[in-house]
Amino acid sequence: MSCRGASTAPIPLSRTQAPDGAAGRAALASGLAIGIAPFVLAQLSDAIGLRAAFLIVPVLLLVLAARAGRVYSSLPR
C-alpha cells in the first residue's frame, strides 16, 4: 500500500506553496497551536470546569471549518 500524495497537514500543501511565505506561516501556526493548546485547555478547565473546556474544542473546530470553507470558496480557480 502506498501513501504517496497523502497529506497529514490539515490544509492542502499546494495552497501553502505560494512564494509569499504561506508555507512558513502554516508551519509556524500549527507548531504554536500544538505547543500552546494544552496549556490553554488546562487554564480553561481550571476556570470553567473540565467538561465545559473540552466542549469548547468541537465548537472552535466548527467555527474554523466554516471560516476555512468561506476562504477556500473565495479563492480563484
Q: What is the mean pLDDT of residues 37-56?
A: 92
**Quick one: CA torsion of 34, 13, 8, 43, rounded to 10 degrees?**
20
User: Of 36, 37, 69, which Cα lies nearest the Cα of 53?
Assistant: 37
Assigned domain for 53 exists? yes
CB-based contacts of 44, cutoff 8 Å, min separation 6: 52, 53, 56
pLDDT band at 11 (very low <50, low <70, confident <90, very high): low
Assigned domain for 1 exists? no
Q: What is the mean pLDDT of residues 19-45?
A: 85
pLDDT value of position 77: 65
This prediction's pTM:
0.54
N-term to C-term CA, the chain: 32
Assigned domain for 12 exists? no
pLDDT value of position 30: 87
Is 41 a residue whose pLDDT tops 60?
A: yes
Q: What is the mean pLDDT of residues 7-26?
A: 63
Q: Which residue has the cell 500552546?
A: 36
Is 71 a residue whose pLDDT tops 80?
A: no
